[in-house]
Amino acid sequence: MNPNVDWYFSKNENWEKEINKLRTIILACGLTEELKWGSPCYTYEGSNIVLIHVFKEYCAVLFFKGALLKDDNRILIQQSENVQSARQVRFTNSNEIVKLEKTVKAYIYEAIEIEKAGLKVKLKKVADYNMPEEFQKKLAKNKSLKAAFEKLTPGRQRGYLLHFSSAKQAKTREARVEKYLQKILDGKGLDD
């Protein structure tokens, strides 16, 4: 147990019992406990394997390369259609955790083997995402904007494209594009 992570387990009063049980299960698999993104993250030789996080209605174990797990028990959940690699196992009470303890451990060991083998999730390329017409027009008119967008990391590019595309009305898409032009020119992502 990493003392730098202890605070997380006591601050989440609604899920304290459940996440402490998950912590015990994960640490029994020989992973290293760290704090990343404000949550307990468990690594194998520096590579992220699983993360514990809590939500209002459930707590979860997130497998970073969950898309590569076999999931014979059909317990892995893709958080949204845009999540390409990670998968969650969600729990609403400690009885569910106890019931699935052996399965969760088996999935953790499989995730470690995936990491040892160097397997990677094949991610969609930025070009595979919808480029809203409103943004295309701005890029065509402004070479600096186009260059700045192309310099962004693929993740930041996807973030913008998903955000712009998710608006149903052209007026909303235009407003979103306008709102973020300067951030793109500054080399920043949607949430930076």
Residue 139 main-chain phi, psi, to 5 deg: -65, -40
Pick the CATH number of 6-116 from 3.90.1150.200, 3.20.130.10, 3.40.50.300, 3.40.50.150: 3.90.1150.200
* Helix 94-116 vs helix 16-27: crossing angle, to nearest 10: 30
91, 104 Cβ separation under 8 angstroms: no
- pLDDT tens string, the chain, 192 residues long: the values are 888 888 898 888 889 999 999 999 999 999 999 999 999 999 999 999 999 999 999 999 999 999 999 999 999 999 887 788 999 999 999 999 999 999 999 999 999 999 999 999 887 787 778 889 999 999 999 999 999 999 999 889 988 998 998 889 999 999 999 999 999 999 999 888
- AA letter at 46: G
What is d(CA 172, CA 84) in angstroms, rounded to the nearest whole number?
26
Whether the pTM exceeds 0.85: the reply is no
Give the residue range(s) of CATH 3.90.1150.200 domains in the chain: 6-116
